[in-house]
Amino acid sequence: MTPVLDLVGIFVFALSGALQGVRKRLDVVGIAVLAFFTAVGGGIVRDLFIGVQPAALRDTAYLLVPVVATVIAFFWHPQVERAMPAVLVFDAAGLGLFCAVGTAKALHYGLAPMHAVFLGVCTAVGGGVIRDVLSGEKPTLLYDRELYAVPAMLGSTVMVALHALDVRGFVATLSSAVLAFAFRILAVRFRWRAPLAKGVGKAR
């Protein structure tokens, strides 16, 4: 059984992918592809790196939830766009949850702490990067200066620390996820920005 929280994360990410598809005037196939890979692309990358079959290919919900998100975005995108501030909050929740769950899975398979953090961040941000590459855009993660990978890194690091202290399972996941979520919300609220290198002209 896929836990409910996990499905919520997947649904929100799928919705954000499907919405980007609608905005870029993709057809229904393209919308579904973006919905799917935004939602589970990060987890697929994590699982390929760990060396296990991607969870998305073991659980029917991972295919069905993106389909539901596609249908919703296809028919009711104006309503969803109006609800975007709420979507942003859910997206932050998904970010927190995915970094915690991804780190836990990496630790479970015996990866070293630093690599577990790396895979936790990959799980949380990988889907968005794949979404942007598939839409023919430079991934926003790399240049938009929003703190997005950084909260994921915080959550993953806390997860690894709790694991080292033998705090595991639901408590560890929830604490790490909530911390990453809170950091992300604060970063959006106060417009914290990732630094740029100094002394560079316009982008080439």
Site string for a copy of itself, 52-91 (x = CB under 8 A): xxx--xx-x--x---------xxx-xx-------------
Among 142, 164, 171, 186, binds a copy of itself (CB under 8 A): 142
Residue selected from 84, 114, 164, 186 as contacting a copy of itself according to rule CB under 8 A:
114
Among the listed ranges 113-121, 164-172, 173-181, 184-192, the one in contact with a copy of itself (CB under 8 A) is 113-121
Taking the C-alpha atoms of residue 138 and residue 118, their distance in angstroms, rounded to an integer, is 21
Binding mask 149-168 for a copy of itself (x = CB under 8 A): xx------------------
Please state the closest distance from residue 171 (CB atom) to a copy of itself, in A: 27
The Cα–Cα gap between 57 and 75 comes to: 27
Ranges within 12-41 binding a copy of itself (CB under 8 A): 21-31, 33-34
- CA 89/CA 143 separation, integer angstroms: 21
HSE at residue 195, side-chain half, CA atoms within 13 A, is 3
- In sequence order, which residues have a C-beta less than 8 Å from that of residue 150 and are 6 or more positions away? 183, 187, 194
Q: Which is nearer to a copy of itself, 23 or 108 (CB)?
A: 23
- Residue closer to a copy of itself by CB (options 3, 75) is 75
Site for a copy of itself (CB under 8 A): which residue of 3, 143, 164, 186?
A: 143
**DSSP 8-state assignment for residue 190:** T
Nearest-angstrom CA–CA distance, 99 and 157: 9
Least Å from the CB of residue 149 to a copy of itself: 5
- CA–CA dist 127, 64 (Å, integer): 17
Q: Residue 122: which of 41, 59, 188 has the closest Cα?
A: 41
54 in Cβ contact with 48 (< 8 Å): yes
Site string for a copy of itself, 120-139 (x = CB under 8 A): ---------x---xxxxxxx
